[in-house]
Amino acid sequence: MSLNKIDKFAVIRKRIDQLVREQHEADKRCWNLELDTQIGDTITKLFSNAFKEASEFYGQTHIYISVMGNRVKKDILGSGGGWHQDTRIKPQKKWFVYLSDVDNIQRGPTQFLNIYQTIFIKFLELFCFNFGNRVNLNLSNWFCKMWGKHAVHKKGVMFSADTRLIHRGTPIEEDGFERYALTLYVYGKHTPANMTLTKIEL
């Protein structure tokens, strides 16, 4: 689905610039943009269809959300800090919207493995006693880079993924480019204790 009918991305990018703080992680992030006094209504409208899809995915009439905005520059590991899963067992789906054109692999698109590739990598990691959500082995990283499918899109194109699958934000290679994006985190019955979430009734 395209959100390009009304170009509000410059406004959102400017607000992200105002909110982000310097961090040690791979990108700069601001959370709960759905509650922001300046762009909250715009964010909620952008993701209105995604709320409905999430309700169907979790099979319930209310969901818990947080919209994260981030800005990623060149010469860092990439959004998310390398190959990882958000969760290993519990269902989780995210919706993404680039706020700048990420229309080639030099601009740091998100990259995903499929279910079979994810299972293979997890077996490799478990064999070497890695029980966490992050991919640590050099061999595993080599397979991930070879197999991963790039989510290359123009700004405003929404896409979603089951983030139990191994994925990463690829490092930006283009000089001077900054990748802005929104990510909709959605939860059903099982919500993380360390996040501030907004309840959406449908």
pLDDT tens-digit series, residues 26-50? 578 999 999 999 999 999 999 999 9
In a domain, 3, yes or no: no
> Helix or strand or coil: residue 58?
helix
Establish if 4 belongs to a structural domain: no
pTM: 0.90
Query: Residue 88: its pLDDT value, please?
Result: 78
- CATH number for the domain including 107? 2.60.120.620
Least confident piece of the model among 31-35, 80-84, 111-115, 194-198 = 80-84
Domain of residue 177 covers 9-201
Q: Decide if 181 contacts 46 (C-beta within 8 A).
A: no
Q: Mean pLDDT lowest for which of 60-64, 106-110, 168-172, 190-194? A: 190-194
Q: Tell me if 117 is assigned to some domain.
A: yes
**Domain assignment present for 127:** yes
**Number of domains making up the chain:** 1
The reply to whether 22 falls in a domain is yes
Q: pLDDT digit string (tens) for 40-78?
A: 999 999 999 999 999 999 999 999 999 999 999 887 778
**Pairs from 143-150 (Cβ < 8 Å, separation ≥ 24):** 143/117, 144/83, 144/111, 144/113, 144/117, 144/168, 147/113, 147/114, 147/117, 148/111, 148/112, 148/113, 149/111, 149/112, 149/113, 149/114, 150/105, 150/109, 150/110, 150/111
93's enclosing H/E stretch is: strand 93-98
